[in-house]
Structure 1
Amino acid sequence: MIAYIKGIVASIHEDSVIMDVQGVGYEIICANPFVFQTLLNKEAFVYTYHYVREDTQVLYGFKNQDEKSLFQKLLQVSGIGPKGALAILSSVNVGDFVAAVEREDDKFLTSFPGIGKKTARQVILDLKGKLTTMLSLEVQPTTLEVIEATGKGLTDAQEALKALGYSDREIRAIMPKLRNEDTENTDELIRKALGLLVKS
């Protein structure tokens, strides 16, 4: 198996990057090829997964080990192939996806293309409890902060703040104070959160 490729980013395409390794060009399919834009014509390190079937061989690439690990786990779920796994990775933070699985958030999971209710339940059944251990220390704090917000009111408030354009970092910063609020009313929590965000 090809675990990673270190070489020059020769070109970037809509769904792939071409890596030049001592004169050999490797086409690597990526969820977000343009994350390597700043490394064009420079040396880069790309984590890879060598997907082999009877009729095809494809190299899939990832910027870090967490993305690669999640991709491999998703391939183990019935109903999700490489394209579906890449579609998920292209539109979500790894920590946020893991948190959604841990809190069994069907609504979040079905927001991805090709993921219906049946597949979402299969993802939860197959992966719950198996993803947090694979995360690096860099990703774990984000994930654990979201998982701790088990109250429905708090979870809904988080989603509303994201919809309003606030970043995960901004939301995490005020979570300790929101958890101390003696209410599960989503509207009240949002009002309190907005007040805290304005002050910060």
Structure 2
Amino acid sequence: MIDFIRGNVAHIESEYIVLDVRDVGYRVFTPSPFAFAGKQEAVTVYTHHHVREDAILLFGFANREEQRLFRQLLEVSGIGPRVALGILAGGRPEAVVAAVQQENIGFLTKLPGIGRKTAQRMILDLKDKLGALPAEGGLLGGAEPGSPSGADGGTAWQEAREALAALGYSQAELDRAWHGVKDEAEAASVEVLMKKALQHLFKG
């Protein structure tokens, strides 16, 4: 199993990044591809090597906490790799863990691909297995337990804005992008704001 890979970010798409590892490009699906934008040095991506009959896929994460939670989510009936990736794109790891431990079905059903029955299975299957996720500086990213990633529109937009700036967009372009996404900033994740902002910028 491939546990991590280290290389330079050669390409970024909305769902994945391509890592150049000694002249071999690895496509790695990740919750927040644009978080890797502007990285000039080699990066370490913690991976989950998923093998099925018709495909061999790599899913990658910025830290061990995301990797561990992703693997635990796969143990829940009805949650496959794509849904698990969507959960991590929609909620920070510590917020998802807190929601499961607090049996916060309202939060869980706001995550992509999660209905009420799946949320109930997550609580049943994971509540006693999930411990507190350690993070540098406390909670990962500073999100409050039980709050979706990006529920604080300012924080989500700040991260999205920094990623866009790393891609080379000017201050004026970023201000214009904000006007295109501000109505959704309260509830949207960083990933969603990035996609909406890029669509707005491409339209001119």
Q: What TM-score, normalized by structure 2, do the two folds share?
A: 0.67
In 2, Cα distance between the equivalents of 1:139 and 1:33?
23
Aligned residue number for residue 77 of structure 2: 78
Aligned residue number for residue 151 of structure 1: none
What RMSD, in angstroms, separates the aligned Cα atoms of the two structures?
2.6
Aligned residue number for residue 116 of structure 2: 117
Per the TM alignment, residue 165 of structure 1 is displaced from its structure 2 partner at its CA by 5.0
Aligned residue number for residue 26 of structure 1: 26
Cα shift readout 1:143-197 (whole Å, capped 9, x = no counterpart)? xx967xxxxxxx8xxx6xx967576xxxxxxxxxxxxxxxxxxxxxxxxxxxxxx
1:141–1:8 Cα change, 3 Å: closer
AA paired with 1:127?
L
1:104–1:166 Cα change, 3 Å: farther
Per the TM alignment, residue 136 of structure 1 is displaced from its structure 2 partner at its CA by 2.3
SS in 2 for 1:112: coil
Q: How does 1:54-93 map to 2 (within 5 A)?
A: 54-93=53-92
In 1, Cα distance between the equivalents of 2:28 and 2:10?
11
Aligned residue number for residue 101 of structure 1: 100
Indicate if the aligned counterparts of 1:51 and 1:57 stay in contact, CA closer than 8 A: yes
Indicate if the aligned counterparts of 1:104 and 1:124 stay in contact, CA closer than 8 A: yes
Q: What TM-score, normalized by structure 1, do the two folds share?
A: 0.68
The answer for unaligned runs of 5 or more in structure 1 is: 148-154, 168-200
Per the TM alignment, residue 13 of structure 1 is displaced from its structure 2 partner at its CA by 1.1
AA paired with 1:136?
P
Q: How does 1:26-45 map to 2 (within 5 A)?
A: 26-39=26-39, 41-45=40-44
Larger % of helix: which? 1
AA paired with 2:33?
P
Cα shift readout 1:93-142 (whole Å, capped 9, x = no counterpart)? 11111000000001111112221111110000000021115x22437657
The answer for unaligned runs of 5 or more in structure 2 is: 156-204
Q: Which structure exhibits the higher relative contact order, with contacts defined as CA atoms closer than 8 Å and separated by 6 or more residues?
A: 2
- Larger gyration radius, structure 1 or structure 2: 1
SS in 2 for 1:90: helix
AA paired with 1:34?
F
SS in 2 for 1:131: coil
AA paired with 2:7?
G
AA paired with 2:75?
Q
Per the TM alignment, residue 68 of structure 1 is displaced from its structure 2 partner at its CA by 0.6
In 2, Cα distance between the equivalents of 1:70 and 1:47?
12
1:136 aligns to 2:114 (yes or no): no
Per the TM alignment, residue 55 of structure 1 is displaced from its structure 2 partner at its CA by 1.8
Q: How does 1:172-191 map to 2 (within 5 A)?
A: none
In 2, Cα distance between the equivalents of 1:139 and 1:73?
24
Identity of aligned residues (%): 45
SS in 1 for 2:37: helix
